[in-house]
Structures are given as structure tokens and as C-alpha cells.
Amino acid sequence: MEALIPVINKLQDVFNTVGADIIQLPQIAVVGTQSSGKSSVLESLVGKDLLPRGTGIVTRRPLILQLVHVDPEDRRKTCEENDPNAWKNGRLYKGVDGEEWGKFLHTKHKIYTNFDEIRQEIENETERISGNNKGISDEPIQLKIFSPHVVNLTLVDLPGITKVPVGDQPKDIELQIRELILKYISNPNCIILAVTAANTDMATSEALKVAREVDPDGRRTLAVVTKLDLMDAGTDAMDVLMGRVIPVKLGLIGVVNRSQLDINNKKNVADSIRDEHAFLQKKYPSLAARNGTKYLARTLNRLLMHHIRDCLPELKTRINVLAAQYQSLLSSYGEPVEDMSSTLLQLITKFATEYCNTIEGTAKYIETTELCGGARICYIFHETFGRTLESVDSLGGLTTIDVLTAIRNATGPRPALFVPEVSFELLVKRQVKRLEEPSLRCVELVHEEMQRIIQHCSNYSTQELLRFPKLHDAIVEVVTSLLRKRLPVTNEMVHNLVAIELAYINTKHPDFADACGLMNNNIEEQRRNRMRELPSAVPRDKMAGGAQGEQEGGTGTWRGMLKKGEEGQGEDKMKAQSPQKGHAVNLLDVRVPVARKLSAREQRDCEVIERLIKSYFLIVRKNIQDSVPKAVMQFLVNHVKDSLQSELVGQLYKPALLEDLLTESEDMAQRRNEAADMLKALQKASQVIAEIRETHLW
Ligand code: GDP
Ligand code: MG
């Protein structure tokens, strides 16, 4: 079996680093009748005296014997695993040639370096469960043998097939044992060693019979003929060994194990093999080369090797897939830094470009789950800000009483004949001022989004940046402070936009003409009414109708109105000319209560003022809705976009900072190394597999 060691070792090495499962070698089970020599065959394959053998029923529980290959180096590790202080204290293995040792599952951590003890423990453990009177049990004993001279292989020693119950054995002993055997050998990954003693009838071999049940094609059954030395005088196994009696696909191999006498005399494995060789040469010279324990081992080697080679293609695929994965992982980590200053410049530029691209919408990484970057700024302008402005009511926060009071305050001590212009200005300014807050809020929102883009860029776009946490933080810091610096400037501008609107109420604005026409008309009407000196008020419906009708056709403007009253002081003239209607006079005399029924005149005046305010407010709101986004773009977005690169370079591209900024996170350096090691291991694995595929062991 040792021929496989280098191959398996190579694979093992590879797999240890790669972390994949090592190829599962088939397990090898021996079947046959009682005392046919099963345990002896297994033992000679292992090359160690460790199994109880003897006449009668000796093997009464399955023995799962796992051979574990160890490097002398690993051995130390295994010792420490078992007893952390053992090695340090020199308690174990010191001075013992024990580079091989055994461990039972049922004795936990106990280490056996003496193989006689192992055999004794198997016997004890067999008795413990199966009793001392030939009883059997299907509960396996599990034994691991650690050695540098074995391959990782599982051998299963099974109780022999028996027909007649003896001792404590139950009546259906034959059935029970058969089932026990079948349980192990029906595993398709099990090579069956069907053991038959040469001094029994091969044609009726129970071993081959049971093997055929699970392996009818004989693809994993190897026949072993034991006790060649015990054949009756005058007979030989020629016909059997030539496969003439019963053909076995994988072959028939005759062996000579140690007799009971040899066992009693403690004949060792090596002597036994030498004697076996001599025996075969003498008795079967023509067949000697194809029989014997050594040949059996070689044949098993070949079977195992076949198995390994069958597994290789799939393994190779798996390794190639892994290699590809690690390759891409590794490249995502970037190369170790060689030229620091160019790397820094590159990273800064890349970040700045990504940042601008995210704003422009030309970023490589397109977010699909939510709006981001420029698109979100657009949304803020037109949806968030636009809608908020639209929801600002032109007369919000202004009651009729407020309007009336403003009108009265504007006229001072004189009773007013016409609606005073000053009151309109005062009131409209107050309303326009209300646009400032949502405008400033718009700046804030865009600022927040610009801040968010920083995260976006470092998360998705410039992966490499994550390698250098310090640089990342520094970039974030620079951009953040650049944004912060622009905030007051932009706010100031937006504040000014509103202030500009407040500074001068342009009643000559073309869009304002209609509203003025309306007012003008209203005044005309009033005057006409007064001229006619009608005692009663103009019917309200007529008034309203007129107002509506004039909306378009009105010739007058605000200007016009002023002109008309310009012969003297407009108001004065009116006042002098027209005797006031009763209720209008009353209005000025009576203190204005908080809530009361308004007179027709008051109603009219308020309506006029309110309409004017509304009309003018809409003009200003439109202006603000249009100009605030422009200001934000100019003073915040575009400014940052344009100066980002130079700002970053100016602040970060300094020789003194290089080393510090480009310190990789420990994590990253380690991860890169790991990935690189893994990749190397995988490449080596691939190579090893290729070599093994070309190896010819025979
Ligand atoms: P098992 O019951 O099938 O496991 O058989 P064992 O391995 O315990 O062997 C039964 C007995 O046959 C033991 O006393 C062995 O020494 C003896 N024996 C096994 N193989 C041979 C052989 O090839 N030649 C001789 N002379 N004795 C053998
Ligand atoms: Mg046995």
C-alpha cells in the first residue's frame, strides 16, 4: 500500500491548503467464512500485528480500522491535540520508536503505542459488548492507526459467515451475520476482499456468494485464497488460482498467512512474507509473480489508484473553478502599492471622476434600487422643492382682518377712499418672505445628497479605496469640508434671491398687468358709482361680474390707476370729490373687532388686495422656483464638482502624507496574502493532478 503514499500525500498536501475534501478512498472490507483467514489477510496488508486472530470465532464485532497517514511533524500536533501538555512535558513517545500509534473511539483520547495492547483492547472491547461466550454484535469497534507508513484508508474486519449457532449465539446467527456483512459491503465505495481458504471448496465459496449479491458484475470484488500451505497432500490450487474453477473479474490471489503456530511463536510480518514468497516459488513457480501478500497489496493499490484517477477530472474542475474565483477576488484587492505617489494621484483622480460621474449620471455603476447622485438632485429640485413651493399658499397666514388692518394702517389718520398701494406692498412682501424657508431647505437637501454621493462612490465605484482606510477617511474629510464650506455661500445666495424679490416690488411686471387691470376696473367702478351718487351700494353680483369680465379686456394697468388719480394726490382728490357712503365712513369710526361682518366696501377692498397679492406672489414664486435650483447648481453642485479634484490634490497629495495615507488596512493585506496563497495552492493542485493523471504505477 506504500506505493500510494506519495500520490496521496501530494494530494493531501494540496488539499490541506486548499481546504477541499480529500478524495474519499474506497473502504476495504473482508468477507468469508469463520477462520478462513480474513483478519490475517487484513493484518498482513497493514503490516502490523494488531488484530486478534485464531481458531474459532474470534472476530465478533465489526472492526473499522482507519489508517491515517501522518507526517512526523503532524504527529506532534496530534499528540498535543490529545493532551495539550503531553509533548511539552515529554511524557509521550519520548524514546519510544512509536512513530505509529493507535486510538480507539471508545477510549477517547487514550493513545496506544504498543500494538499488543491494541490487540488486547480489541479483545476486551469485543467481550464487553458481545460477552465471552461466542456472542456477536453489530456494533463496530472503531480504531484509528496513525502512521507515516500508511495511506488514508479504511479497512473493515467482519465476523465470519457461520451456519450453526454455538455458545450464546442466537438461532438466526447466519442471517444476522449476513445482514451485518451486507450492511458494509453494499456500499458502492467498498472493495470486497472475498476470502476463501484453499482447503475448502472454492466452487461453493460463501464469500464469493455474498459478494456477488451486492456486486453481481464483480467490479469491486477481489478473491483471496488463503491457507495455500494447508492443502492436502497431492492437491494444489492451480485450477483455482488460474480462475478455472470460478472466474473473478478483478482476479484471484493466493496467499499464505501465519499459521496458529506462527502466531504462538510470534513470527513477525516480514518473516512471514519472506516465507510466503519462498513457498510460492517452490510450489507455484509459474504463478508466484501474481500471488502472495505483496501482489495482493499491489493489486489493491492499483484499484485504489484507478479510483483516484476516476475522481480526478471532477476534482480538476472543482479546483479550476476555485482558482478562477480566487483570481477575481485577488484582483479586486488590487496590487500591492509600488509607486506610492502615482497610486495616490490615481486614487484621488478616480474618486473625483466617480464623484462627478455620479452627479452627471455617467457613473459606471448604475444604481437600480433608488435614485442617487444627479438624478436625486433633480428630484429634489423639481419634486421636493417644486411641490413644497407650490403648496405655499399665496395668502397663507393672512386673515381678512389682517388685510383690513393693514389697509387702515397704511392710510394713516386719513380715512381712505381707495385701497392704498402701501398696504399691498407690505402684505405681499410678508408673503414672499415665506418662500425663503423652503428655498433654504432645498439647499440643505442637495447638500445632504452631495454628502451621500461620497459614500456611494467609496462603496461601489472605487473599491480599491477600501484598501486604504486612512486615505478613504481623508478623502471623505476633504469633500465633506468642501461641501461644508459651500453651504453658507449657497445659503447666502438663496437668501439674496428672496431678498432681491423683497427689495423691489415690480408692479410693472408684464404678468402683473392683468391683476392691475382688474383693480383699476374696480376703482373705476367705484368712482362711477359715487359720481352717480347712488344712495345704495352697487349690487354685489354686478360688481363681481364686472371684475371677472374685465380680467382680459381691462385696458388699465396699475400704472394707469396711478395716473388717473394723479391730478392731485390721488387719494386726496377722491376724498375731496366724493362724499362717502354711510357705511364706508362708519368703518373708519368703529373700532375693528376681531371678528365681525364686513361691510360691502371692506369686502371689496379686501378682495382687491388679496387678488393683487395672489397674482404678484405667483410671479415671485415662479421666479424662486426657477432661480433657487440654478443658484444651488452654480454655488454648490458645480462648484464642488469643478474644484473637487484640485481640492483633493491640494490637500492630500503631499509627500509627507503619502506613507500614512497609503497604509493598507491590516485586514486587507492579510486577505490579499491569503487569497494569493490559496491561488498558488490551487495552481499547484492543478499541476499535481495533471502529474498524477500521467503517473503509471504499473
Ligand atoms: P478469520 O476468522 O477469518 O479472521 O481468520 P483468522 O485470521 O483469525 O485465522 C484463523 C486461523 O487460521 C488462525 O489461526 C490463523 O493463524 C490461521 N491461518 C490464517 N491464514 C492462514 C494461512 O494462510 N496458513 C495457515 N497455515 N494458517 C492460516
Ligand atoms: Mg477474524
Q: How many CA atoms lie within 13 A of 428 on its CB side?
A: 27
User: Band of the pLDDT at 15, cuts 50, 70, 90?
Assistant: low
Rounded to whole angstroms, how far apart are CA atoms 132 and 118? 18
User: Residue 327 pLDDT > 60, yes or no?
Assistant: yes
State the distance from the centre of ligand 1 to the C-alpha of 259, rounded, in angstroms: 6
Comparing 207-211, 451-455, 601-605, the range with the smallest average pLDDT is 601-605
Q: What are phi and psi of 56, to 5 degrees?
A: 80, -175
In a domain, 557, yes or no: no
Sign of CA pseudo-dihedral 578, 579, 580, 582: negative
Residue whose CA lies nearest to ligand 1 atom number 18 = 259
Nearest 5°: the CA angle 407, 409, 410 is 65
393 and 312 together in one domain: no
Confidence band, pLDDT 50/70/90 cuts, at residue 476: very high
Among protein residues, the one with the nearest Cα to ligand 1's atom 8 is: 53
DSSP codes of every residue in 310-374? HHHHHHHHHHHHHHHHHHHHHHHH-PPPSSHHHHHHHHHHHHHHHHHHHHHT--SS---SS--TH
Confidence band of 568 (pLDDT split at 50, 70, 90): very low
Each residue of 616-674: pLDDT tens digit?
A: 999 999 999 999 999 999 999 999 999 999 999 999 998 888 888 888 777 777 888 88
Question: What does the pLDDT read at residue 610?
Answer: 87
One domain, residues 317 and 376:
no
Residues 365 and 268 in one domain: no
3-class secondary-structure state, position 612: helix
Instruction: With CA atoms as reference, report the closest residue to 652 among 644, 661, 665.
Output: 661
Percent of the chain whose pLDDT exceeds 90 = 34
Q: How far is CA 696 from CA 152, 289, 309, in A?
A: 20, 19, 11
Decide: 652 and 474 in contact? Cβ < 8 Å.
yes
Pocket test residue of 31, 259, 284 for ligand 1, highest count of atoms within 8 A of CB = 259
Sequence length of the chain is 698
Q: What is the mean pLDDT of residues 260-279?
A: 91
**In this model, does residue 577 exceed pLDDT 50?**
no
Distance 62 CA to ligand 2 centre (A): 9
The sign of the CA dihedral 338, 339, 344, 349 is negative
C-alpha cell at 299: 493489486
Nine-digit cell at 388?
413644497
Give the domain extent around 355. Answer: 340-514+607-663
Q: Per-residue pLDDT tens for 88-132? A: 444 444 334 457 889 999 988 888 888 889 999 999 999 998 888
Query: Who's near 633: CB < 8 A, 6+ residues apart?
Result: none
- The pLDDT assigned to 530 comes to 59
Mean pLDDT for 548-554 is 36
Neighbour-count burial for 310-330, b at 16+ CB within 10 Å, e otherwise: ebbeebeeebeebbeebeebb
Terminal alpha carbon distance of the chain: 13
Q: Give the predicted TM-score (pTM) of the model.
A: 0.54
447 lies in the same domain as 348: yes
Are 508 and 407 contained in the same domain? yes
Please tell me the predicted confidence (pLDDT) of residue 409: 82
CA distances from 498 to 380, 502, 637 (A): 19, 6, 20
Output the pLDDT for position 464: 72
If one counts every other C-beta atom within 10 angstroms of the C-beta of residue 274, the result is 11
User: What letters, b where the CB count within 10 A reaches 16 and e where it falls short, cover 1-21?
Assistant: bebbbebbebbbebbeebebe
- pLDDT at position 546 over 90: no
pLDDT number for residue 482: 95
Atom of ligand 1 nearest to the CA of 33: 3
Q: How many whole angstroms from 160 Cα to the centroid of ligand 2?
A: 7
The predicted structure's pLDDT at residue 269: 85
Q: In whole angstroms, what is the distance from residue 354 CA to residue 373 CA?
A: 11
**What was the pLDDT predicted at 588?**
41
- CA 443 to chain centroid: 36
Instruction: Render pLDDT for 373-417 as a digit per residue (tens, 0 to 9).
Output: 889 999 999 999 999 999 998 888 888 888 888 888 887 787 767
> Is 109 within a domain?
yes
Reference 632, options 442, 348, 416; nearest CA is 442
Do 211 and 118 belong to one domain?
yes
- Judged against a pLDDT cut of 60, whether residue 569 lies above it is answered with no
pLDDT at 585 over 60: no
Question: Are 55 and 260 within 8 A, CB to CB?
Answer: yes
Rounded distance between C-alpha atoms, residue 127 and residue 60, angstroms: 9
Q: Which helix (H) or strand (E) holds 147?
A: strand 141-147
Query: Taking a C-beta distance cutoff of 8 angstroms, is the pair 436, 498 a contact?
Result: yes
Give the pLDDT score at 356.
92
- Identify which of 446, 475, 448 has the alpha carbon closest to the alpha carbon of residue 459: 475
Q: For residue 632, what pLDDT is reported?
A: 96
Q: Which position has the grid cell 415662479? A: 622
* CATH code: domain of residue 184: 3.40.50.300
Count of the separate structural domains present in the chain: 2
Q: Confirm whether 620 is domain-assigned.
A: yes
Helix, strand, coil distribution of the chain in percent, nearest 5: 60, 5, 30
User: What number of H helices and E strands is found in the chain?
Assistant: 26, 8
User: Per-residue b/e over 87-124, b at no fewer than 16 CB within 10 Å?
Assistant: beeeebbeeeebebbbbbeeeeeebbeebeebbebbbe
- The more confident residue out of 214 and 420 is 214
Residue 545, pLDDT above cutoff 60: no
Residue 203 DSSP one-character state: G
- Euclidean distance between CA atoms 315 and 295, whole angstroms: 29
State residue 580's pLDDT score: 37
- Identify the pLDDT of residue 463: 64
Q: Look-up: residue for cell 376681531?
A: 594
Residue whose Cα lies nearest atom 24 of ligand 1: it is: 227
**Is residue 18 within 8 Å of residue 322, measured between CB atoms?**
yes
Residue 16 and residue 152: Cα distance in Å, rounded?
14
Q: Give pLDDT, residue 108.
A: 82
Residue whose CA lies nearest to ligand 1 atom number 17: 259
DSSP-derived secondary structure for 440-481: HHHHHHHHHHHHHHHHHIIIII-GGGGG-HHHHHHHHHHHHH
Tell me how far apart the alpha carbons of residues 71 and 86 are, in angstroms, rounded to a whole number. Answer: 18
β-strand partners of 27: 190
Do residue 247 and residue 169 come from a single domain? yes
Neighbours of 377 (CB within 10 A): 22
Please indicate whether residue 353 or residue 667 has the higher confidence score (pLDDT): 353
- Ligand 1 mutation pick, 53, 162, 232, max ligand atoms within 8 A of CB: 53
Position 586 in a domain: no
Answer for the pair 454, 641: CB distance below 8 angstroms, yes or no: no
Site to substitute for ligand 1 among 35, 44, 158, 273, most atoms within 8 A of C-beta: 35
- What whole-number percentage of the chain has pLDDT above 70? 79
DSSP 645-697: HHHHHHHH--HHHHHHHTPPPHHHHHHHHHHHHHHHHHHHHHHHHHHHHH---
Which atom, in ligand 1's list, is nearest to the CA of 57? 2
Looking at residue 499, its pLDDT comes to 95
> Across the chain, what does the average pLDDT equal?
80
| 285 and 402 both lie in a single domain | no
Model confidence pLDDT, tens digit, residues 500-542: 999 999 888 888 876 666 666 666 666 666 565 444 433 433 3
Q: How far is CA 66 from CA 43, 153, 503, in A?
A: 13, 6, 96
Q: Which atom of ligand 1 sits closest to the CA of residue 36?
A: 3
Structural domain contains residue 328: no
Tell whether 373 is covered by a domain.
yes
Q: Residue 90: what pLDDT?
A: 41
Among 40, 196, 199, 261, residue to substitute to test ligand 1 (most atoms within 8 Å of Cβ):
40
Residue with cell 461644508: 484
Cell of 272: 512471514
Q: Can you read off the three cell numbers belonging to residue 540?
A: 354685489
Q: HSE-up of 37 (CA within 13 Å, CB side)?
A: 27
From the alpha carbon of 227, which atom of ligand 1 is closest? 23
pLDDT score, position 494: 96
What's 497's domain CATH number? 1.20.120.1240
Instruction: Say if residue 284 is in the same domain as residue 346.
Output: no
Categorize the per-residue pLDDT at 555 as very low, low, confident or very high, splitting at 50, 70 and 90: very low
Closest of 403, 429, 611 to residue 514, by C-alpha: 611
pLDDT per residue over 35-62, tens digit each?
999 999 998 888 888 888 888 888 899 9
**Would strands 141-147 and 101-104 be described as parallel, antiparallel, or unpaired?**
antiparallel
Does 284 share its domain with 388? no
Q: Which atom of ligand 1 is nearest to the CA of 226?
A: 23
Residue 543 lies in a domain: no
Q: What is the Rg, in whole angstroms, of the alpha carbon atoms belonging to the chain?
A: 51
User: Which H or E run contains 150?
Assistant: none
Q: What's the rounded mean pLDDT across residues 454-480?
A: 81
CA of 169 from ligand 1 middle (Å) equals 22
Question: Ligand 1: residues whose CB is within 6 Å?
Answer: 32, 34-40, 53-55, 58-59, 160, 226-227, 229-230, 256-260, 263
**Amino acid making up residue 50:** L
Residue 408 lies in a domain: yes
Average pLDDT of the residues in 195-199: 94
155, β-bridge pairs = 28, 65
Q: What is the crossing angle of helices 293-333 and 4-18, to 10°?
A: 20
User: Residues 6 or more apart from 439 whose CB is under 8 A from it?
Assistant: 385, 494, 497, 498, 624, 628
Which pLDDT score is estimated for 133?
Answer: 80
CB distance 453 to 370 below 8 Å = no
310 and 367 part of one domain: no
Q: Regarding predicted confidence, which is higher, 567 or 188?
A: 188
Residue of the CA atom closest to atom 19 of ligand 1: 37
Looking at the fold, whether 399 and 292 belong to one and the same domain comes out as no
